Chains A and B, each alone.
Chain A
Amino acid sequence: MASVPRPRRLIGLYSRRYSTTPTSSTRLNLPIDYKSTPLLHHTPSSLMNTLNLPPSSTSKSMNLYTAINGALRTALSKSNKVMLFGEDVAFGGVFRCSMDLQTEFGSERVFNTPLTEQGIIGFAIGAAAEGMKPVAEIQFADYVFPAFDQIVNEAAKFRYREGATGGSAGGLVIRMPCGAVGHGALYHSQSPEALFAHIPGLQVVMPRSPSQARGLLLSAIFESKNPVVFMEPKVLYRAAVEHVPSEYYTIPLNKAEVIKPGNDLTIISYGQPLYLCSAAIAAAEKALGASVELIDLRTIYPWDRQTVLDSVKRTGRAIVVHESMVNFGVGAEVAATIQTGAFLSLEAPVKRVAGWSTHTGLTYEKLILPDVARIYDAIKQTLEY
């Protein structure tokens, strides 16, 4: 029998808006139209170029949670070392990512754990140490902190301290929904990627779309020999719909993607804010006549410094955009690296557009997180510097 999710974590997502809403005069901060954004593959034709797939591949239109569900199904059928577990995973997960998987693969490989994040990750590390490929789910990134000791002191350091014995927790993947959804307030909105990116030994990955999620997740499970923290922007679970190849493919980790080429400015981002960047770029290119390059980091750590530096050396200007707080965030590392690696090419200070250094108070969300207007303004200021 399917278990019932606990009320504290059951949220009527996508149903209510607490923050500011657009008015008839709003030009920039309009809701993202996922049906028309150039970031998603609305037809199969563009897929082959970006993912290096053979022309014969078939694809299916799906949203982010179905793409993840499909990737997990592929992983579970490809190897019986793959296990899937966490809180409420058995009935399909509170975000439906593990739907039907227990029925298909059995309760030995897809199962619920007790409600204990430190237990889930400790258990996963142990299984990985014996050669399994555990995919552990933390229900919300906001609840990963009880497992911080296991992730930082154990998973990340496992291979290093084992040394010549050859032991590691490399088979481990930790999935967690992250980011804001409009009304998640303090404990259903966080993106702790910068905290993980400070820890050598971890790979931190965040996809921006269904096709990317499938390729990156399969890569994390089968190609990475390191523990991977896989963060899924939950606002995209249902909203982002695109064509996803049906066959097996992977997207390399530690490799950024230039989504849109440009000459005057480079924007570096990852996850959901890329859609905001794309909208801001469209508005700025129209209004200011500039050409802006957009880069998706995809893997936040260890990150693709070369792609970013090559771009900034060409454009001379850079903005980093992320949802989590600006203080000591990913933007700080990216900006510092640009300052060191492309100093002579810089024509303006590197700008950071990120969440303000506060908590995500329920009713203030839209004022706290980066939006199209703030990114547009940053483009304008950086170009006019």
Chain B
Amino acid sequence: MAFINPMDTPGIPTYRVMDSDGVLVGQSRSELGFTNEDALSWYRNMLTGWFFSLYYDGLRPDADGLLTSRYGQVSAGEEGISVGSAAALTPDDVVFAQYRETGVFQQRGFTLKQFMSQLFANANDNGRGRNMPVHYGCAYPKTVRITPSPTSPMLELEWTLTEAQHTISSTLATQIPQASGAAYALKLQALQNPDKPPAIVACYFGEGAASEGDFHAGLNIAATRSCPVVFICRNNGYAISTPTLEQYRGDGIASRGVGYGIDTIRVDGNDIFAVYETMKAARGLALSGGGRPVLIEAMSYRVSHHSTSDDSFAYRARVEVEDWKRRDNPIIRLRKWLENEGLWNEDLERQAREGIRRDVLREFGEAERAKKPAIRFAFEDVYEEVTEEVREQMGELKRILEEYPEEYDLRGFEGGIKGLDEK
């Protein structure tokens, strides 16, 4: 009789391509599967992400009600994971994110204007002003292919992909079983229509969310139904104030993948090359043999506060954070590599930062000045059609607004009170 003691099992190693000085470890330049332009665009996207977090931190003074209302989760320190993994996806791949994946949106072409419109919940926001900041959603460019089937005219072979980057919801881990179901749908569609390009689902979540029941449900169902989905866990050491020692006692999240029968790897999340390579290989693996799930645990450190409502120095030492920021950071690591390759220097860095800063501030101003969406959007899209009951409630709200105009400031909303009229 022998109990298996987890302490006797060696920890899962962390895959790395370059060290913290930006020097390749055991690999040559020619083995890297990307161009200089790719690396430069990744760097630019990470830098923009970094600026976002500065922008958020800058809003922390909370005397002004408007500023504190701009709550949001920030991604600093994890840009390597989001940008690096998204770079390995195709436009047909579908993304389910948690909320700390700004870089995924950037890498897939979400514009500064779209980011800012969402943060300000204005009329240009995809989410129609309904969601808290950072709950981005994107009708990402995707292909819709229509193939009539001469053999079975009864069957519908017309796929309408609604969007490829689903809107983020606050509920943790709910996207994990959804990602499995979406991946299964993509697999079925590929079987039914061979002309459809093969696609996977990429599903992001933190190590804290992995404690939810939906993590268990999602990975298990992905394994039993052989779904082409890549789960990417961002293990940044903290879930708000809870360190991983209070989150789990096993060997991180990666060790669980094996228990579900899922191909698993742990990667250095501050090493964008390692993340990119891993995601590229995982994508191929997910599409092989009729579909299979893959788990990636990307190790990093959440250098920023959890969100703008959080002061993380209440539960961890400032010196520890400063150490991570300075010593190991995905942006600095890539910058060192770019400089070693002669692709980057202090001048280019200054120009880039100034450019990004200018763009962010411009879009910030424009988004701030833009109108809020029309107030009918408070009621629409609950169902496909507005119900008779809700139409009556809209009429009632209109009556109230007309009766007590001094109680409601509608100037910021498109169309004012007329915005309540149905289109």
Contacts and interface: CB of A to CB of B under 8 A. Distances in A.
Contacts of A121: 177
Contact of A123 (B96, B139, B177, B387): B177
B181 A160 contact: no
Interface string B162-193: 11001101010010111111111110110110
B167 A154 contact: no
Interface string A65-95: 0000000000001111101000000000000
Nearest to A112: B224
A129 B157 contact: no
Interface residues on A, range: 35 or more
A225 B382 CA distance: 11
A162 B167 contact: yes
Interface stretch (A29-37, A145-153, A176-184, A311-319): A145-153
Contacts of B201: 126
A177 to B, nearest CB: 21
B128 interface: yes
Contacts of A164: 125-128, 139
Interface residues of B, number: 60
Given A150-B177, A302-B387, A114 B185 contact: no
A114 B221 contact: yes
Interface in A138-172: 146, 149-150, 153-154, 157, 159-168, 170
A260 B182 CA distance: 45
Most B C-beta atoms less than 10 A away, residue of A77, A126, A153, A160: A126
B203 to A, nearest CB: 9
A127 B171 contact: no
Given A79-B155, A167-B167, A226-B383, A127 B181 contact: yes
Contacts of A83: 188
Contacts of A162: 126-127, 137, 162-163, 166-167, 381
B311 to A, nearest CB: 28
A159 B188 CA distance: 23
Contact of B181 (A111, A124, A159): A124
A163 B127 contact: yes
Contact of B221 (A109, A113, A134, A302): A113
B218 interface: yes
B167 A165 contact: yes
Contacts of A129: 162, 166, 178, 181-182, 185
B185 A130 contact: yes
Given A153-B169, A165-B162, A302-B387, A126 B182 contact: yes
A363 interface: no
Given A122-B217, A131-B160, A161-B127, A80 B155 contact: yes
Interface string B147-165: 0000000111101111100
Given A119-B177, A305-B388, A167 B171 contact: no
**Most A C-beta atoms less than 10 A away, residue of B167, B176, B377, B389:** B167
Contact of B186 (A80, A118, A125, A130): A130
Contacts of A168: 162, 384
Contact of A77 (B154, B188, B189, B383): B154
Interface string B207-222: 0000001101110110
B327 interface: no
Interface in B120-137: 125-128, 130-131, 135, 137
A129 B181 CA distance: 9
Contact of A126 (B154, B177, B381, B383): B177
Contact of B382 (A146, A159, A167): A159
Contacts of B225: 111, 113, 123
Nearest to A154: B174
A126 B382 contact: no
Contacts of A254: 387
B185 A127 contact: yes
Q: Most B CB atoms within 10 A — which of A130, A131, A149?
A: A130
A221 interface: no
B334 interface: no
A302 B384 CA distance: 12
B388 A306 contact: yes
B94 interface: yes
B181 A116 contact: no
B217 A163 contact: no
Interface in B360-387: 377, 381-384, 387
Interface centre among B131, B163, B224 (most CB of A within 10 A): B163
Given A124-B181, A161-B169, A306-B388, A114 B382 contact: no
B64 to A, nearest CB: 27
A132 interface: yes
B384 A114 contact: no
Given A150-B174, A153-B174, A130 B220 contact: no
A40 to B, nearest CB: 30
- The interface centre, meaning the residue of A125, A131, A154, A305 with most chain B CB atoms within 10 A of its CB, is A131
A165 B139 contact: yes
Contacts of B217: 114, 116, 118-119, 122
Interface in B212-242: 213-214, 216-218, 220-221, 224-225
B245 to A, nearest CB: 27
Given A118-B214, A161-B130, A167-B167, A125 B181 contact: yes
Given A129-B162, A130-B189, A78 B220 contact: no
Interface string B76-97: 0000000000000000001010
A79 B149 CA distance: 13
B138 interface: yes
Contact of A125 (B157, B178, B383): B178
A207 interface: no
Contacts of B186: 130
Given A161-B130, A254-B387, 7 more contacts: A129-B181, A130-B161, A130-B189, A131-B185, A164-B125, A164-B126, A167-B162
Interface of B: 94, 96, 125-128, 130-131, 135, 137-139, 154-157, 159-163, 166-167, 169, 171, 174, 176-186, 188-189, 191-192, 201, 213-214, 216-218, 220-221, 224-225, 377, 381-384, 387-390
15 contacts: A79-B155, A81-B156, A113-B221, A119-B214, A125-B177, A131-B161, A149-B171, A160-B382, A161-B167, A163-B128, A163-B381, A165-B162, A167-B137, A201-B382, A302-B388
